[in-house]
Chain A
């Protein structure tokens, strides 16, 4: 589904991390771990195609990816439903299950509130709701558990389990404090770059 070979990105002529070899197959959940500043977000953005690698190769299966970054991609002036309807149109997904998704993520009461009036946790839930509307087979999530309460974490795990059961794959970054408890996962620890002697 996604394969990287010696993927490397330089900032100011200095590699951000050691070259990354990664092969993600359908049904797999990968955790990218590393200390703050190790380059987890950078790697996820590379995999999503938002940045171009300095060297190395990145092969991605045809089809869309779902990306969730630190900026959630919600329009503050649009309501929850309007945000999700646009996200569904953008990813070529189906807008019909919006109401069901909102109930699942406990956002049904806030569905017509403007996104600017939501709390940080609710906004995260709204962004996560996009995931169940997109047909994308590969999810790239940057710290999906940040800002979520315990029930929220459970819902994310349930969404992930469904996605993986359906043959999808997910690569997420996490800094180790929170890990999906019930799902088998594989780990990619980001190594700092060491100049060859």
Chain B
């Protein structure tokens, strides 16, 4: 089957996201709240904040991604749309790629766009902003793709959300390490293109391999 269905699917999912836009705002508000709690918890000293800024922003981004992942396939699974797509004979891997793309557009891209604001809140040292935005731009699509595997595996479980976070966080560890290391290097005026290169490699690997894993997981969940 050709990829003709991908555009209608993309359009439909973006339209559905738009119709439920208040739900989309919740993970972003969650992100902002988590980041704003840190100055209250560890004290608002500029040096302390600057030191933990990258870690806080990235961990908050991971949490916000996982919060929004649970619904990725759930409504399609519950209302039977997923069965219709599976029966249609279209490649589920391509469908999975579109779903992950939509997830990134509505949940990942806003984090990238918000990150300069978060950097100011957390008093991120000046040289680090470019690296932070670049690491998020390369890292969040990988988060969406890897997370979609977990979401597909847990979609048929009643309380899949908690299991999902347990499944997905270990997979996110390398991305977190690379991204924070890139930003730390940047703030120390060291080259950081190595870390960004590895993040990009991870993204390419996830783009090519994750859709197949998602499709297999969806088939398992449908049985």
Known: A90-B85, A91-B88. 10 other contacts (CB 8 A): A48-B87, A50-B83, A50-B223, A51-B222, A67-B84, A69-B83, A71-B79, A71-B83, A73-B84, A92-B1
Chain A residue, CB-CB nearest to B88: A90
Task: Return the contact of A77 from the options B8, B19, B90 (Cβ within 8 A).
Answer: B19
* B interface residues (Cβ-Cβ under 8 A, vs A): 1, 4-5, 8-9, 12, 15-16, 19-20, 75, 78-81, 83-90, 222-223
Inter-chain contacts of A67 with B (CB < 8 A): 83-84, 87
Inter-chain contacts of B80 with A (CB < 8 A): 69-74
Instruction: Convert A160-179 into 0s and 1s, putting 1 for each residue whose CB lies closer than 8 angstroms to a CB of B.
Output: 00000000000000000000
Inter-chain contacts of A70 with B (CB < 8 A): 80
Could you tell me the distance between the alpha carbons of A76 and B74 in the complex, rounded to whole angstroms? 13
User: Does A86 belong to the interface (CB within 8 Å)?
Assistant: yes
Could you tell me the distance between the alpha carbons of A134 and B81 in the complex, rounded to whole angstroms? 15
Interface contact A77-B20, CB-CB below 8 Å: yes
Within the complex, the shortest CB–CB distance from A138 to chain B, in Å, comes to 11
Known A48-B87, A64-B88, A65-B87; contact A89-B5, beta-carbon cutoff 8 A: yes
Please report the number of residue pairs spanning A and B whose Cβ atoms sit closer than 8 angstroms.
71
Within the complex, the shortest CB–CB distance from B9 to chain A, in Å, comes to 8
Known A51-B223, A90-B5; contact A75-B12, beta-carbon cutoff 8 A: yes
User: Does A97 belong to the interface (CB within 8 Å)?
Assistant: no
Near B by CB (< 8 A), chain A positions 65-103 give 65-67, 69-78, 82, 85-87, 89-92
Interface contact A75-B87, CB-CB below 8 Å: no
Known A89-B5, A92-B4; contact A76-B83, beta-carbon cutoff 8 A: no
Within the complex, the shortest CB–CB distance from A188 to chain B, in Å, comes to 20
Inter-chain contacts of B9 with A (CB < 8 A): 86, 90
Interface contact B223-A71, CB-CB below 8 Å: no
Instruction: Convert A40-54 into 0s and 1s, putting 1 for each residue whose CB lies closer than 8 angstroms to a CB of B.
Output: 000000001111100
Could you tell me the distance between the alpha carbons of A78 and B12 in the complex, rounded to whole angstroms? 9
Known A75-B16, A77-B16; contact A90-B8, beta-carbon cutoff 8 A: yes
Residue of B19, B20, B84 contacting most chain A CB atoms (<10 Å): B84
Could you tell me the distance between the alpha carbons of A86 and B9 in the complex, rounded to whole angstroms? 7
Task: Return the contact of B12 from the options A52, A65, A86 (Cβ within 8 A).
Answer: A86
Task: Return the contact of A73 from the options B1, B8, B79, B223 (Cβ within 8 A).
Answer: B79
Inter-chain contacts of B84 with A (CB < 8 A): 67, 73, 87, 90
Known A50-B87, A71-B78, A72-B79; contact A78-B5, beta-carbon cutoff 8 A: no
Could you tell me the distance between the alpha carbons of A76 and B20 in the complex, rounded to whole angstroms? 11
Could you tell me the distance between the alpha carbons of A78 and B90 in the complex, rounded to whole angstroms? 22
Inter-chain contacts of A51 with B (CB < 8 A): 222-223
Inter-chain contacts of A76 with B (CB < 8 A): 79
Inter-chain contacts of A75 with B (CB < 8 A): 12, 16, 75, 79, 81
Could you tell me the distance between the alpha carbons of A73 and B79 in the complex, rounded to whole angstroms? 5
